[in-house]
Each structure stands twice: as structure tokens, then as C-alpha cells.
């Protein structure tokens, strides 16, 4: 026999208000906690690096050098943003966890790419992009963020579609759609969730 009493309409309304307030606080925390800046940094890296690869060619050593330089600059910018935010947000304990997650991601992605030996620059770009989207999906799951997890899942499908359906323009597709989406989400979080 169930001894629980049904909740009243007022109790249900109060619970919904609490959920809405918690959601609003979580979004504000993400907006002020650096999340949009990381999307902006890596969206810009993707826009510039994939764009240069489209116009220089996926096998171009210059395009490879541009990728290396932009990845290093993106990593430094991410570290600086994370470090500065950690100084502001003393009680926040997720920063080191997120940093270690992405460090492990980089190590494992590099090992998998090294041993998988992609046959072309486009295959390498595909693999790295899919690894990045896997990271976003996992972060979305960890932080219960449908925006971040959903972005990773949707971009995964679009990355695969671009690679299979328009291989000649895959890098342009990634620059505009991939980099543009990351920048767009960063701006949305920064302005809509603040």
C-alpha cells in the first residue's frame, strides 16, 4: 500500500519555480565560468585552420603548420582563460577535473591517430573532429548540459555528412559549420545566459 500523499498544485508550482531558478543559476554560472570563451577560442581555431586547409590543400605542409600554430595558441589561450577564472572562482572544483579530462583526451586522441595512421589529411581532420565532438558529448553528460552534449551530437552527424557527401569541400564545411557553430554557441551562452 502506498502511503504517499499527492502533492498539491501549489507545491508543484513551487517545485517548478525552484527548477527554473536552478536552471537559470546553472546557465549564469556557465556563462560567467568561462564556457563561452572556450567555445569562442576553439571555434576561431577551427574557422581559421579548416579554412586554410581548404584553400591550401589537406596535404599542404603550410596548412599543417597553421594547424600546429593555431592549436598551440588555442591551448595557451584556454590555459590562460582557465587560470584567470580559477583565480576568480576560488570555491569552484571542476576546473582541474575539466583540464585533466581534456589533457587525457589530447593524449589518447594523439595515440589513436598515431596508431590508426589516417590515409589522408581529410581523414586526420575527420578523426580529430570526431574526438572533439566526443569530448563535448561527454562534457554535456558530466554537466547535464543538453546544449553542450547536443552540440557535440549534432556536429558529429554534420561532420560525417560533410565528409561523405561533399568531400571536395569538407574543410570549408568544417570551417564554416564547425567553427561557426562553436563561435555561435559561445556568443549565445555569453549574451543569452548572462
Alpha helices per DSSP H over the chain: 9-32, 35-56, 61-88, 94-116, 121-142, 146-165, 170-173, 180-192
Q: What is the pLDDT of residue 170?
A: 95
Tell me whether residue 7 is in a domain: no
* Enclosing domain of residue 24: 17-192
Tell me whether residue 6 is in a domain: no
Q: What total number of domains does the chain contain?
A: 1
Tell me whether residue 8 is in a domain: no
Nearest to 48 by CA among 181, 184, 172, 154: 172
Tell me whether residue 4 is in a domain: no
Q: What is the mean pLDDT of each run of 10 residues along the chain (194 residues)?
A: 70 69 60 78 96 93 94 90 72 67 85 90 90 90 86 94 95 94 90 78
Q: What is the CA radius of gyration of the chain?
A: 20
CA distance 89 to 84: 9
Tell me whether residue 127 is in a domain: yes
Q: What is the pLDDT of residue 25?
A: 60
Q: What is the pLDDT of residue 52?
A: 96
Tell me whether residue 3 is in a domain: no
Tell me whether residue 2 is in a domain: no
Q: Measured on CA atoms in the order 128, 61, 41, 91, is the torsion positive or negative?
A: positive
Q: What is the pLDDT of residue 26?
A: 60
Q: What is the pLDDT of residue 30?
A: 58
Q: What is the pLDDT of residue 160?
A: 96
Tell me whether residue 11 is in a domain: no
pTM: 0.79
Amino acid at each position: 500500500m502506498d502511503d504517499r500523499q499527492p502533492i498539491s498544485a501549489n507545491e508543484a508550482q513551487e517545485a517548478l519555480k525552484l527548477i527554473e531558478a536552478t536552471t537559470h543559476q546553472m546557465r549564469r554560472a556557465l556563462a560567467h565560468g568561462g564556457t563561452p570563451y572556450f567555445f569562442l577560442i576553439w571555434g576561431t581555431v577551427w574557422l581559421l585552420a579548416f579554412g586554410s586547409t581548404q584553400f591550401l590543400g589537406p596535404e599542404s605542409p603550410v596548412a599543417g603548420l597553421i594547424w600546429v600554430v593555431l592549436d598551440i595558441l588555442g591551448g595557451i589561450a584556454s590555459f590562460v582563460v582557465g587560470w584567470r577564472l580559477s583565480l576568480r572562482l576560488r570555491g569552484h572544483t571542476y576546473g582541474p577535473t575539466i583540464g585533466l579530462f581534456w589533457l587525457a583526451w589530447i593524449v589518447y586522441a594523439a595515440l589513436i591517430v598515431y596508431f590508426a595512421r589516417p590515409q589522408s589529411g581529410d581523414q586526420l581532420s575527420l578523426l580529430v573532429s570526431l574526438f572533439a565532438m566526443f569530448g563535448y558529448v561527454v562534457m554535456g553528460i558530466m554537466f547535464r548540459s543538453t546544449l553542450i552534449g547536443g552540440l557535440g551530437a549534432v556536429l558529429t552527424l554534420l561532420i560525417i555528412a560533410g565528409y561523405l557527401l561533399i568531400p571536395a569541400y569538407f574543410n570549408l564545411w568544417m570551417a564554416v559549420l564547425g567553427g561557426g557553430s562553436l563561435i555561435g554557441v559561445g556568443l549565445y551562452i555569453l549574451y543569452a545566459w548572462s
